[in-house]
Amino acid sequence: MTTDSWINECLYPDWGQRFMVTRELARVKSDFQDIVIFESSSHGRVMVLDGVIQITERDEFVYQEMLTHVPLLAHGAAANVLIIGAGDGGVLRRVLQHNNVNRAVMVEIDGEVIRLCKEYLPGIAGDAWNDPRADVIVGDGIDYVKRAPDASFDAIIVDSTDPIGVGEVLFTDEFYSNCARILTPSGLIVNQCGVPFMQADELRETSARRKQFFPHVTAYVAAVPTYVGGFMTLGWAAKATGLTSVSVADIRARAAAAGILGTTRYWTPEIHVGSFNLPPYIGQHLPG
């Protein structure tokens, strides 16, 4: 909802944040969702999908760094990476920072999100769109994973909207079953899994689903200022156990080898390892 100079997030009916709007840049109703991009006085440019804050220029680094560097450095040798959603290109840019990544396939359902982010949020993706290792596909992630060959990816990063509307299919048994099939034996999948202080069901239900297909299911946290309600959780499901207990020293060495060390503003080797230590109010929603 937009008043004279404010946009109110409408994720929760009885609580939320608002941004002072200095200039509205785009307001498009695509085939999938309402897209608004505006200039805020506090957080730079902001994108909203169906009334839910997706990304702000000011704090996007927190979420993109943690959603990308943690799985790739925990894996240690991810060469083929699948990104679902992430239409702003931020995850793609950070995946391609890893010099051991040979191929990054990004499947975003809404071409309008890509078009508008290229035009109004160019700094999020930088030059990632033109990287020869990038393969950007406009399509439904559920269809892509259904058709992808067995063991064709080392890591899957799901940067989707919440499990309502087009994002819902990315939180289903069918989706996780196919993700398990197309991942290599040491493969893993991470996904945006909401803010458990307000969306505990999302973490609990999707972790239980992932547990059917992956031996090691947990989550890790990041403090994203504009994902209101405290820690944001990122769901974790891996075929191999032990990936979350790599030492700080080994993570640092891997980050140096991958060309990541010294390029981040939130992620550090210590934050990486520490992010898996969950407060009880969050850990209680994970399967035993």
Nearest in space to 162 (alpha carbons), one of 128, 203, 192, 189: 192
Q: How far is the CB of 143 from ligand SAM (least distance, A)?
A: 8
Residue type present at position 221: V
Cα gap 230→243, rounded to integer Å: 25
Beta bridge partners, 157, equal 83, 190
Catalytic residues: 159
Among 9, 59, 65, 110, binds ligand SAM (CB under 6 A): 110
155 and 180 Cβ atoms separated by less than 8 Å: no
Among 21, 55, 106, 148, binds ligand SAM (CB under 6 A): 55
Measure Cα distances from 250 to 121, 190, 216, 222 in Å. Answer: 35, 20, 20, 21
63 binds ligand SAM (CB under 6 A): yes
Q: How far is the CB of 158 from ligand SAM (least distance, A)?
A: 8
Name the residue nearer to ligand SAM (CB basis): 9 or 154. 9
116 and 93 Cβ atoms separated by less than 8 Å: no
82 binds ligand SAM (CB under 6 A): no
Nearest residue to ligand SAM on Cβ basis: 85
171 binds ligand SAM (CB under 6 A): no
In the stretch 178-207, what mask flags binding to ligand SAM with x, by CB under 6 A? --------------x---------------
192 and 234 Cβ atoms separated by less than 8 Å: yes
In the stretch 89-108, what mask flags binding to ligand SAM with x, by CB under 6 A? ------------------xx
Among 21, 36, 82, 86, binds ligand SAM (CB under 6 A): 86
Sole residue written with tokens 């950070």: 94
Nearest in space to 239 (alpha carbons), one of 193, 171, 176, 283: 176
Among 40, 80, 161, 226, binds ligand SAM (CB under 6 A): 161
* 21 sits in which H/E element: strand 18-29
Residues that bind ligand SAM (CB under 6 A): 32, 49, 54-55, 63, 84-88, 107-110, 113, 140-142, 159-161, 166-167, 169-170, 192
